[in-house]
Amino acid sequence: MKPTTRMLGALSFAAALTLTACSNSATPGPAAGNGDGDAVHVGLIQEARPDVEPWSLSWHDSIESLKAKNPGMKVTETFDAYDATRAEPVIRQLLDSGASVMVLSTFVLTDVAKTLAPEYPKVPMVLTSFGTMQQPNLSSATASYLEIGYSSCWLLAKLAKDGQVGVVGAQEAPFEVESEEGCRLGAEAAHPGAKVTVVNSNSFTDAQANREQVQNLLDRGIDNIFLVSGTEDTVGGFRLCETAKAHCVTWGGDGRKWAPKAAVLTVELDWSSLLADLTEQARTGKLEAKSWNLTYGNKGLKATGIDEAADVSPELRTEFTTMLAGLADESISLPASKVHPGLR
């Protein structure tokens, strides 16, 4: 997902893998069925551990949500293996050892995915990138960054008496820019005098740099902040938000893991339907590459934390729910996506 090229230390196959035996089986759709699983083995290549990054947490939680449903599934989840050169041998060993589904949760593995998919044509795979789908077995997955940004900053602008919303990004990657575009639209819809201020940490992994940019905004009197990268750096910002009693929002996995009170909203990414579909393909042997785009309309995006947020009034929650319904049924018009043309 994140465009980073930080060098990793020496990575051995044994050190790179954390093996978890999971009990579950899945059928297409948000709710996995109660089948026997047929010994499906899912390999999940993560860019970071879920305790240090919202994006990775979303994938981890989606796998976890399938655990209790059915016996028979095995999951091997790897961490810090997103560097393509170092990750490829790990992925190959997983495939050669019997992985029947491969989930590549970072777009830096695009070239690796395009190489491996035809070599292992009976293994359904998914890559979190756009425009990379290859029949019969390489699906692509993304999310509506416009909807993520719109809903996040709509709420923050409502919470801000003066309509000021801060955005802390990393490196102005395309997904960040599109999320910021959605943010401006949402803030303007929520508050006639809305003003969005964007700062950047220049790193997807440096928590201290993100923290410093959050402090930069706080020093300007801006305490309603969208942590737009969703990557490792956001954890530093969240921790300062918590001590400063600011309102902060991100997307991916539940931000309350790092800021129980300050994280008034997380736009959670629910990959369960995608994972259920891939495991069903592996079980039946009927492969079909698909393009997945998580939105509020297909329930791939979920607003988490707002119902428990002390500073969000019941009246504002009701307004927020109405706004989400408008995004879901697309009565709220959004511009065409530049990151993934043709999708929301």
Positive or negative, the Cα torsion across 312, 314, 316, 318?
A: positive
- pLDDT of 70: 61
Query: Vertex 317, ends 314 and 323: CA angle to 5°?
Result: 150
Tokens of 132: 């990379």
Quick check: 229 and 186 in contact, CB under 8 A?
no
pLDDT 10s digits, 209-252: 999 999 999 999 999 999 999 999 999 999 999 999 999 999 99
Q: Are 23 and 70 in contact (CB under 8 A)?
A: yes
Distance between CA 182 and CA 188 in Å, rounded? Answer: 10
Sign of CA dihedral 274, 43, 23, 97: positive
Residue 39 pLDDT: 82
CA distance 318 to 116: 47
Q: Average pLDDT over the chain, rounded to whole?
A: 89
The answer to whether the beta carbons of residues 74 and 41 sit under 8 Å apart is yes
* 69 and 33 Cβ atoms separated by less than 8 Å: yes
- d(Cα 4, Cα 81) in Å, to the nearest integer? 12
Would you say residue 16 has pLDDT above 60? no
Instruction: For the chain, report the end-to-end CA distance as a whole number of angstroms.
Output: 18
Ordered DSSP codes for 203-225: -SS-HHHHHHHHHHHHHTT--EE
Per-residue pLDDT tens over the stretch 166-189 = 999 999 999 999 999 999 999 999
- Proportion of the chain above pLDDT 70, given as a percent: 87
C-alpha atoms less than 13 angstroms from C-alpha of 25 in its C-beta half-sphere = 16
Q: Where are the beta strands (DSSP E) in 128-262?
A: 138-143, 164-169, 195-200, 224-227, 247-252
Q: Residue 38 — pLDDT band, cuts 50, 70, 90?
A: low
Residue 66: band (very low, low, confident or very high) from pLDDT cuts 50, 70, 90: confident
- For the entire predicted model, the pTM comes to 0.89
The residue-averaged pLDDT of 117-126 equals 98
User: At a CB cut-off of 8 Å and minimum separation 6, what does 318 contact?
Assistant: none
| Whether the predicted pLDDT of 27 surpasses 50 | no
Q: In the chain, what are the domains?
A: 13-143+271-294 (3.40.50.2300), 145-269+299-328 (3.40.50.2300)
